[in-house]
Amino acid sequence: MKPQGAATVASSGCGPASHSFFSQRLRLHYVDYGGDGNRLLVLVHGGRDHARNWDFVAERLVGKYHVIAPDLRGHGDSSWAIGSTYAMPEYELDLAQLLRHLDSAKVTLVGHSLGGAIVLHYAGMYPESVERVVAIEGLGPPPEMIVDRPVEERMHEWIATMQELATRQPRRYRTLAEAEARMREANPHLSPAMAKHLTVHGTMRMEDGSYVWKFDNYVRAWPPYRYDVESVQRLWSRITCPVLLVRGSESWASNPVIDGRAAHFKNYRYVEVAGAGHWVHHDRFDEFMKHLTAFLGDGR
């Protein structure tokens, strides 16, 4: 079964319109779900994901917003950043370039995981431009996972990872059904319809007829930079618009209210969705949409 109320974009076969923009000479892809003339809302996916993971969410929002979803560099149908790292400053630049491309003065941002971190950082950099921001498990590593290792250790690990990735070949699947099975293995919460949808839009077919995931394997590597907790918290504290923080009760992510990270936001609301893992908007779609639409419709 598909999520209730999500039919037109996600299952009609028509789909959203595809467009491109440029950032650091990379051609990056985004989809436009429609609603031109309404307030702009941008949906930003997480690592090793793609823009079309938002189809069901966009379906519910397009009547009120002009809804856009980009493929991050190295993901989906966007160019791979060959010879460069995939790091937060580049992702922030890409979002800034997208909004410049769209001639947007004001925007509402929704992001998941890596995308959640991106939209929160952007809202802290440009607080006057963001009307509302939603982060689904987008606060980065829990405090207990952050270890400030010496620079030489970080650099050694990064170089070794780059050398290993240079030898790594994308895993090939003989059929879409095999790839879909891997998708369900990675997230057992997914419905069969959602797993199929994510797989169809997240794979490409090779010359030999096999299927591979679209993302660049190099996005798996963490850059060698120190995780700058103080700078991240400063960006959070600069956000002036309302913030919705969403977490799945069965996720590896810790509760930001309990661990203290939520205290850095001036005006936030925290929601924990029972029975959901890291992909809250897939795992408990209707409940997530109830919280999202209530937040977006709240005048506070």
User: pLDDT digits over 199-218, tens only?
Assistant: 999 999 999 999 999 999 99
Q: Which residue would you say has higher pLDDT here, 26 or 63?
A: 26
In this prediction, residue 13 has a pLDDT band, given cuts at 50, 70 and 90, of low
Q: How many residues make up the chain in this entry?
A: 300
What is the structure's pLDDT at 227?
93
In this prediction, residue 5 has a pLDDT band, given cuts at 50, 70 and 90, of very low
What is the structure's pLDDT at 298?
72
Give the integer Cα–Cα distance in Å for 164 and 133: 37
Q: Pairing between strand 203-205 and 211-213?
A: antiparallel
Write the pLDDT tens digit of every residue in 32-82.
Answer: 999 999 999 999 999 999 999 999 999 999 999 999 999 999 999 999 999
In this prediction, residue 7 has a pLDDT band, given cuts at 50, 70 and 90, of very low
In this prediction, residue 14 has a pLDDT band, given cuts at 50, 70 and 90, of confident
What is the structure's pLDDT at 8?
42
For residues 44 and 67, is the Cβ–Cβ distance under 8 A? no
DSSP assignment of 176-227 equals HHHHHHHHHHH-TT--HHHHHHHHHHHEEE-TTS-EEESS-GGGGSPPSS--
For residues 214 and 50, is the Cβ–Cβ distance under 8 A? yes
Give the integer Cα–Cα distance in Å for 11 and 9: 6
Write the pLDDT tens digit of every residue in 98-135.
Answer: 999 999 999 999 999 999 999 999 999 999 999 999 99
Average pLDDT of the segment spanning 250-272: 97
Task: Count CB neighbours of 30 within 10 A.
Answer: 24
Read off the pTM.
0.95
Write the pLDDT tens digit of every residue in 154-212.
Answer: 999 999 999 999 999 999 999 999 999 999 999 999 999 999 999 999 999 999 999 99
Looking at the chain, the whole-number percentage of residues with pLDDT higher than 90 is 93
Give the integer Cα–Cα distance in Å for 107 and 129: 6
